[in-house]
Structure 1
């Protein structure tokens, strides 16, 4: 893994605190050192990670969420 960077993702399909925990768990499954801050109201996740953005989006999609990177 490379240097850590910040990623802002739109994550559709989140409805409750259980979803927040699931999204965090999925992201940390890709990068165990990732710092994840989920904004349930706006359906966004701010992630500090060394993993590839597409890899994170693919893992979230596989987990049942529709994820796409947002520009900052």
Structure 2
């Protein structure tokens, strides 16, 4: 059975340009090709609707060179 979708808001440190934002979105979509990814470059945040766990999203972003932390609210 497939995991239910999760609504994640993450702070992502190290995003400084549109290329970074694109790399973050690409890394998340490699983990979950069906994920909905909205990158807020100005505030360094990423909103993700995904089947993946937040720890897995943080790990792929870390591997891509960014530090991600889950946020509440």
TM-score of the superposition, structure 1-length normalised? 0.96
Write the mapping of 1:26-37 to structure 2, written as runs, cut at 5 A: 26-37=27-38
Corresponding residue pairs, total: 72
Whole-angstrom CA distance in 2 between matches of 1:12 and 1:69: 12
* TM-score, L = length of structure 2: 0.95
Runs of 4+ with >6 A deviation: none
Aligned 1:42-61 pairs, distance under 5 A = 42-61=43-62
Partner residue of 2:10?
9
Query: Any stretches of 5+ residues in structure 1 without a counterpart?
Result: none
In angstroms, what is the RMSD of aligned CA positions?
Answer: 0.7
